[in-house]
Structure 1
């Protein structure tokens, strides 16, 4: 039983480390365009912030 407990604890620790690394990776701004394909499909990955704001102000 102790062996199984040690294996489970190791798996939980490894899973937690992978979760933290994935969260840090998703938070990076320069990596987000590679992770999110929605931006590429919508075609908004190359517009400036002013064009982006104009899009929202025209829709109202």
Structure 2
């Protein structure tokens, strides 16, 4: 049982490290356009702030 608990703790630590690394990568501004293709499909990648706010007010 101790061996199983040890393996489980190691997996949890590895999972936590991967989670933190992936969150840091997602927050990187240079990488965001490559991860989110929805912006390109919706056509809002070159929209101004006033146009963006106009979208939500309608």
Shorter-chain TM range is: 0.7 to 0.9
1:55 corresponds to = 51
In structure 2, do the counterparts of structure 1 residues 58 and 9 end up closer, same or farther at CA, with 3 Å as the change threshold?
closer
Structure 2: give runs of 5+ residues left out of the alignment: none
CA distance in 2, matches of 1:9, 1:39: 39
Q: Which structure 2 residues correspond to residues 6-25 of structure 1 after superposition, within 5 A?
A: 6-25=6-25
What is the Cα deviation at residue 53 of structure 1? Answer: 2.1
What is the Cα deviation at residue 37 of structure 1? Answer: 1.3
RMSD (Å), alpha carbons: 1.8
Give structure 1 regions of 4+ aligned residues with deviation exceeding 4 angstroms: 57-60
SS at match of 1:14: helix
Count residues in correspondence.
56
What is the Cα deviation at residue 58 of structure 1? Answer: 5.0
